[in-house]
Structure 1
Amino acid sequence: MKREAVFSKSPRPAGSDKHAPTEPSPFSSQTNSKPSTPIQRRLSKIKSGWRWDFLAVFLMGIVCSLLAVGVFSPALQWRPALTQKDIDAAVLHTLQTKDLPSASSKAAASIQGAVVHVQAYVADPKNKDSDIESGVGTGVVIKDDGTILTNFHVVSGAKKLRVTFFDGTESDATVIGVQADKDLAVLKPQKIPDDLEPAILGSSQQLAPGDGVVAVGFPFGIGPSVSSGVVSGLNRQFKSQDGKQNLSGLIQFDAAANPGNSGGPLINMSGEVVGIVTAILNPTSARTFIGIGFATTIESAGSAVGLPPF
């Protein structure tokens, strides 16, 4: 189908139909002629401007790269590896300039949250409606549920027991098990702190005379108190003056212990309970420490609460 020609409505000069030169298209692909129309001139400016913008961005990228290399290259420089001499010098410097905690201090800190103050009460003979304190001792939490290990002689004959935890929480407690021949008792408090952590139990089989130990407790109700010393003997026997206590297989130690320490933990330098403080050798009536204390091994104490052997 023949397309209909479209003609301009503008008047033409006479005789210009056949020989009038054809104007180049604004979008002509010719590149060797100067732009003659407004559209061509605008396109030429856009192309020229784009070239300059691209060149500016490219040059700016090179400048930024050079700056980055200049800033970070010192951090990327190779550094020699540390030698043993360098490490030894750093450790020596720390030892000479810093006050480090002692081994006994670290051991006591690891157990302190599991140590409890135990108070025993009996009926007041003058007033049966009230109770009076009949004994004071120490206990150590050995299970997540708050189970406490202490001495039998601390709770024996008590009408009421009250324990105080590390954070000040107080609770009544009941005796749920005893081994009188080993002077051991197991207590169960009615309530416990939310963040209570039991002690870590070790093994007395690894002990040797001269090994460091720490005793934590409430001597004369004061505490928690910490004393440190060494194992001075193993497999010792102890017989009280009244003949009521006759114990064997004990750990002998020289860390200070006094009335009130009974039932508290004896721990090694790793903070593990290796024994339960049971008695002090006191040939006089002063009831004070003269340098020899005894602890039931944790193996014997563990059997009192049904713990498996070590």
Structure 2
Amino acid sequence: MRKQALYSSSSKASAAPGAPEALPEPPAPARRPLPAALKQLDFTDPRWLWSAIVLLALALLVSIAVGLHQRPRQLTQKDVNAAVLKTLETTVLPSAASRAYEVIRPSVVRVMGFVKSKDGKEDLEHGVGTGVVIVDKGVILTNLHVVHGAQTIKLVFFDGLESSASVIGVQPENDLAVLQAHKIPDDLVAATMRSTADLQPGDEVLTVGFPFGIGPSASAGVVSGLKRTFRSPEGQHEIGNLIQFDAAANPGNSGGPLVTMDGELVGIVTAILNPSKQRTFIGIGFAVPIENAAVAAGMPPF
């Protein structure tokens, strides 16, 4: 026979048979009485609200005053000088000649003259030199002796674009020729021309060209003298009012730019002096001032 479940007795009234026994309720927490002083305060009084507003305003003013007092210290010239010196110590800057090269390079052109072979089947190289763009529509200055006698003229621009060209002007007394390219790069840049009026011996200059067909090649030096005269080795031609310089120039540099350290065009390389028959550079080169060259191109002088 199944035994009946037994339940412990309780002092409370017994629950209905089969219902679970109710748990006793926890005692309510004791409340601490307010101090007598606070019991007498009336927080609904509007004066409490205005007092709170005044306290917040005072706190804001104090915060602003502290912020203004702690604003960053202004930089002084000493701070700037220290920063510049630190930069110079930690950064390798390009040389003046390098910057000048970057400025003039897009305006430098390789110039080649060709003649037909006796049987008319081949183009033979007749002369190689350099040119410089002075008008962005493809007007180029070079030496007359580079293209003289050539039946066709070919140009190679800084981006590798090749084009034929025509002679549109000459100035034999200064050995200058003006070329017009038949095709030009979309972003062709003309050299910036600068007056030689303030050019002085000792000023740094740069030549860029294709010596012996190698290039573009850069060479730096200084202005050695002004208003020099050059007589051709055969003695048949004399050019005056030349810029003498000592930046290396060799056959192939003819017609190239002579520029300042700002990359501004002051002359067209035209000759080198060498008493021997080697036709190599010994430290004396000559350039036609850009004022004369600009006249050859039909441009007004400075």
Q: Secondary structure at the match of 1:220?
A: helix
Q: Secondary structure at the match of 1:149?
A: strand
Which residue, out of 145, 152, 157, partners 1:153?
145
- Structure-1 separation of matches of 2:198 and 2:256: 20
| 2:145 is equivalent to residue 165 of structure 1 | no
- Structure-2 separation of matches of 1:77 and 1:293: 65
Match of 1:284 in 2: 276
Match of 1:46 in 2: none
Q: For the structure 1 residues 83 and 157, does the alpha-carbon distance in structure 2 shift closer, same or farther, using more than 3 Å as the test? A: same
Paired-residue identity, %: 60
**Cα deviations across residues 6-53 of structure 1 (Å, max 9, x unaligned)?**
xxxxxxxxxxxxxxxxxxxxxxxxxxxxxxxxxxxxxxxxxxxxxxxx
Displacement after TM superposition at 1:111 (Å): 0.6
Displacement after TM superposition at 1:279 (Å): 0.2
Q: Which amino acid aligns with 1:78?
A: R
Match of 1:193 in 2: 185
- Structure-2 separation of matches of 1:111 and 1:141: 10
Matches within 5 A, 1:79-158: 79-125=72-118, 127-158=119-150
Matches within 5 A, 1:46-85: 77-85=70-78
Displacement after TM superposition at 1:206 (Å): 1.3
- Structure-2 separation of matches of 1:243 and 1:296: 18
Q: For the structure 1 residues 76 and 144, does the alpha-carbon distance in structure 2 shift closer, same or farther, using more than 3 Å as the test? A: farther
| 2:232 is equivalent to residue 232 of structure 1 | no
Displacement after TM superposition at 1:245 (Å): 2.8
| 2:301 is equivalent to residue 271 of structure 1 | no
Q: Which amino acid aligns with 1:219?
A: P
Which residue, out of 231, 255, 275, partners 2:247?
255
Q: For the structure 1 residues 147 and 85, does the alpha-carbon distance in structure 2 shift closer, same or farther, using more than 3 Å as the test? A: same
Displacement after TM superposition at 1:77 (Å): 4.9
**Which contiguous aligned blocks of 4+ residues in structure 1 show a shift greater than 2 angstroms?**
73-77
Q: For the structure 1 residues 75 and 216, does the alpha-carbon distance in structure 2 shift closer, same or farther, using more than 3 Å as the test? A: farther
Displacement after TM superposition at 1:282 (Å): 1.1
Q: For the structure 1 residues 302 and 85, does the alpha-carbon distance in structure 2 shift closer, same or farther, using more than 3 Å as the test? A: same
- What's the TM-score, normalizing by structure 2? 0.77
Displacement after TM superposition at 1:75 (Å): 11
Q: Secondary structure at the match of 1:299?
A: helix
Q: Give structure 2 stretches of 5+ with no counterpart.
A: 1-55
Match of 2:290 in 1: 298
- What's the TM-score, normalizing by structure 1? 0.75
Q: Which amino acid aligns with 1:259?
A: P
Q: Which amino acid aligns with 1:82?
A: L
Q: Secondary structure at the match of 1:306?
A: coil
CA RMSD of aligned residues (A): 1.9
